[in-house]
Structure 1
Amino acid sequence: AEFYFAYGANVDVATLERRMGDEAQAVSAHASVLRGYELRFDVPGLPYSEPAFASVAECAGASAHGVVYGLSEGGWERVLATETGYTPIEVECVLSSGEIVTARTLSYPDDARIEGALPSERYLGLLRAGARHHKLSEEWQTYLAALPTYEQGQSPQAVAGALVTAALALPVGVTAALSASAASAAAGADAGAQAAAASRAVGGAVWSVHDRILRPVFGDGGGARAA
């Protein structure tokens, strides 16, 4: 089995099983800690609905809690296919038994992260449910419970912002993705790297439109971003 450290939505068992599909499965699961990294919500999502997703970043003295899954053949490939834009890294995790294992996980390039956006209640709920299921530390569960989430406004202005964002996301995203993929291909990147570059370009382009055009009209779509 290949070891994979999950800290975001894949901590939730149902989410991981759905993403694995019929092609692979988790054959083991262990509560674990990744030392020297912190959990962040700075992966760009969709303004006004799912502003930010989770990542980890190196941070001295910090720890990120999650689950080390043992994946069957093809499992890691399914993770990569469903978590586009991230960069695979190899880390050492401490299991609840005290054993240290080498696992793969995903981080996000620093130059593609966003600041000040919040995760949705739906998304953070997956992390909280997974933490309960896998019996992660009480301290970590308390930490997750206290995190703020993005609340989608129901005012006409907020609803309009969400609708306009959804309408613009496809054309803006496709244009950015094609451009980034072409540049990546010209640089000799493989198909996986091209897909990752395209995914990051989509997120960056959508948030650029939000910051320059949508936010002044419809208000902030991230929950905590400075004007």
Structure 2
Amino acid sequence: LPLLSPARLDRARADGPAAKPEPTVLYLAYGSNLCYETFQDRRGVRPLAQVNVQVPELRLTFDLPGIPYTEPCFANTARRRADGGDNSDGGDDGGKEKEKEKGERRWTKGLVGVVYEVTSEDYAHIIATEGGGSAYHDVLVDCYPLEHGRDTVPRTHPDVPPFKAHTLFAPRQDPDDPSSGSGGRLSRPDPSYAQPSARYLKLITDGADECSLPAEYREYLGALRPYTITTQKQRLGAFIFLSLWGPFIALVFALQEAFKDSDGRSPDWLVQLSGAIFAAVWSSYDTFFHDVFGDGERTMDEHDQSDRDVCARRGPARRW
């Protein structure tokens, strides 16, 4: 793809000249949409141009709940403090400890991704394929262009003016404050606990390679540990779980496609229905499947299995 034109960048800058409504949208991708297979092949989006960027105000997270045992979580972003630190989402300290235990390197230079220029129709399609607005919010963020093919990411703001781009952001809902999140957004007790599947991580790392993101950031992505099933009980649990909930999840996706509006968004009743179904999905996991079949969010080692056996003897632990 060609690089985003300087004229289009200028029009997207906060201090740029006032302009008529643009026929195209600048969309920041950071998860599986980095990958050609997902973004262009499967979803049929045809970007017009692209540019690699750094977004210091955000950081990459994997705190959007998916489906236990199969796709435990999906990529999301979280706000960072003005001093470059991370805003706590109620589980950040636990996340640091888990990264230390697993030997994972912590990334401290903000979000790195790709801004695509897409048509308004394609952007509506992107929103529709990302849940129809049931989990993600459409927000504008400051993006700093990165030189194509560079190896490192600046620790401070790059010495170039930022421009505005749209991205999909799912703020974590505070259980004690129902107004803090959208109706369809689920939050796990520890947002840093779950690991993405190997399939999902590969889409992100493949996309980072295809887009020639900085080698330093690709090395970080490549070191992330995927969720892996390690016991026969988990395999059995995964089969039963997907057999039970798969038809309901497929129904949600079909309804989202059928009832999306011109902007790709689902009606309020469908957002609520989707939220209720996924709440039931995770409630069944927390109250039954986890204790019977094992962890469906994070890879279990021998120590984890021993701890689970002790907990099982003491009684069920509710984790929702």
TM-score by structure 2 length? 0.60
Distance 1:162 1:19, change over 3 A: same
Map of 1:148 onto structure 2: 225
Map of 2:80 onto structure 1: 59
Q: Distance in 1 between matches of 2:52 and 2:237?
A: 39
Q: How big is the shift at 1:146? A: 1.2
Map of 1:186 onto structure 2: none
Q: What do the CA deviations read for 1:113-142 (whole angstroms, capped 9, x no partner)?
A: 332111011101111111111111122111
Q: How does 1:78-157 map to 2 (within 5 A)?
A: 78-84=125-131, 85-97=135-147, 98-111=160-173, 112-114=186-188, 115=191, 116-153=193-230, 155-157=231-233
Kindly indicate whether residue 238 of structure 2 is the aligned counterpart of residue 162 of structure 1.
Answer: yes
Question: Given that residues 54 and 110 in structure 2 are in contact (C-alpha distance below 8 angstroms), is that contact kept between their aligned partners in structure 1?
Answer: yes
Q: How big is the shift at 1:101? A: 1.7
Map of 1:41 onto structure 2: 62
Q: How big is the shift at 1:208? A: 1.8
Question: Given that residues 228 and 299 in structure 2 are in contact (C-alpha distance below 8 angstroms), is that contact kept between their aligned partners in structure 1?
Answer: no
Q: How big is the shift at 1:217? A: 0.1
Secondary structure of the equivalent of 2:57? strand
Q: How big is the shift at 1:171? A: 6.5
Q: Distance in 1 between matches of 2:233 and 2:117?
A: 46
Kindly indicate whether residue 46 of structure 2 is the aligned counterpart of residue 25 of structure 1.
Answer: yes
Q: What 5-or-longer segments of structure 1 have no aligned partner?
A: 182-189
Amino acid at match of 1:5: L
Q: How big is the shift at 1:18? A: 2.8
Aligned residues with identical type, % of pairs: 32
Q: 1:211 aligns with which of 276, 286, 293?
A: 286
Distance 1:33 1:197, change over 3 A: farther
Q: Distance in 2 between matches of 1:137 and 1:79?
A: 25
Secondary structure of the equivalent of 1:74? helix
Q: What 5-or-longer segments of structure 2 have no aligned partner?
A: 1-23, 85-108, 148-159, 174-185, 257-264, 305-316
Higher strand share: 1
Q: 1:199 aligns with which of 266, 274, 295?
A: 274
Q: Distance in 1 between matches of 2:136 and 2:233?
A: 33
Question: Given that residues 128 and 145 in structure 1 are in contact (C-alpha distance below 8 angstroms), is that contact kept between their aligned partners in structure 2?
Answer: yes
Q: What do the CA deviations read for 1:190-212 (whole angstroms, capped 9, x no partner)?
A: 84444444434433321221111
Secondary structure of the equivalent of 2:298? coil
Q: Distance in 1 between matches of 2:241 and 2:27?
A: 34
Distance 1:25 1:148, change over 3 A: same
Q: How big is the shift at 1:170? A: 4.1
Q: How big is the shift at 1:29? A: 1.3
Alignment length (residue pairs) = 212
Higher helix share: 1
TM-score by structure 1 length? 0.83
